[in-house]
Amino acid sequence: MSNFKAIPEYRNLAAKQFFDEVVPEQQPIVLRGFGDDWPLVAAAKKSPNEFSANLCQHYNGNKVTICAAPPSADKRFFYNHDLTGFSFVSAQERFDLFLRRLTDFDNKQPSPALSMQSALIEDILPGLLENNSSDFFPNVKPRLWVGNEGVVDTHYDGTDNIACAVAGRRRFILFPPDQTSNLYPGPLEFTPAGVPVSLVNLRKPDFDRYPRFRSALENAYCVELEPGDALFIPMLWWHHVESLNKVNALINFWWNGSFAEDATSPNFLDSMKIAILAMRDMTPKQRAAWRCLFDHYLFKQGVDPASYIPKHQHHMLGEMSPQYIASVKDYFIKKLQK
């Protein structure tokens, strides 16, 4: 791991400084001790049983979705060998029984990789947030991830993310968005968890099949989180996540972008799919011409059009109310459905 780039680390960073200075830069940072004052973290540091007991005292009986990958999957929640299916199965189970299963597997080898991913805490553990919350996100609904040793292959999210380890250690390997082509992303519409995933096995890369991945590794960042530590992952940063202990858990906060509570359709990934459908049959020169328009209107590479057009004619080039945004999106959605 010594060849990876280091991620800047902070401790006791104030929320205002984080949102005013860190988030706009869209570069990852580590927040050491982000959840150190959470009782859940304190329980996890004592033992897996203490951690499970702390969770179960808040459990309301609702079932959760559990993913299980056999030992032959090498801990990966991924595709099968020919991309016709996945290396894992999913089923509904009581959360307390799942926790018991995790501790039962603690001393058994080999054991399947088990994971409960992205469960809304308020749906299954409504009282947990009273003493395990962050003043960074007073209005964000956090999610819980629990499992044993497992691997979530390199993927990106359509929103900014703070991921806080609450039990066990986790290793994150991050790649900036400009490495996308070097990561060999898989299908857009057939994915293990809703977003595209790199087809390269990062732990056992096949450089003959994926030669550009060497360049991706030269631009990769790595960090290991202990319980209480958090990582800011900017939107569209690719990240590979490996749980390193028999019982692991993470609480994360998605607060904007396609996972935001007030997000409207089409989301960012939907918009990219629409653009692919609209422009895939153009010639290279035609696509290059359209890139110029995207650079002008969307990425504002030159003169900002809002700087020379009268304000009363800005419309979607200027400030827009949520109502106007919703009406425009609704118009295009209806147009696409015809």
Q: What does DSSP say about strands 9-11 and 29-32: parallel, antiparallel, or unpaired?
A: parallel
Is a pLDDT exceeding 80 seen at residue 18? yes
Contact 154, 200 (CB under 8 A): yes
State the DSSP H helix or E strand holding residue 293, giving kind and residue range, or none if neither. helix 284-297
- 9-259: what CATH class? mainly beta
Q: Domain spans of the chain?
A: 9-259, 268-337
* pLDDT tens digit sequence for 163-221: 999 999 999 999 999 999 999 999 988 999 888 999 999 999 999 999 999 999 999 99
| pTM score, whole prediction | 0.87
* Residue whose structure tokens are 């087809």: 199
Q: What mean pLDDT, rounded, does the chain reach?
A: 90
> Around Cβ 142, how many Cβ atoms within 10 Å?
20
Q: Which residues pair with 30 in a beta bridge?
A: 9, 231
Contact 106, 114 (CB under 8 A): no
* Residue whose structure tokens are 């999913």: 90
Alpha carbon distance 63, 206 (integer Å): 39
What strands lie across the sheet with 89-94, from one edge to the other?
Answer: 9-11, 29-32, 230-233, 161-167, 248-254, 143-147, 113-120, 63-69, 89-94
DSSP code at position 226: P
* pLDDT tens digit sequence for 68-121: 999 999 999 999 999 999 999 999 999 999 999 888 776 667 789 999 999 999
Nearest to 31, CA basis, from 243, 253, 247: 253
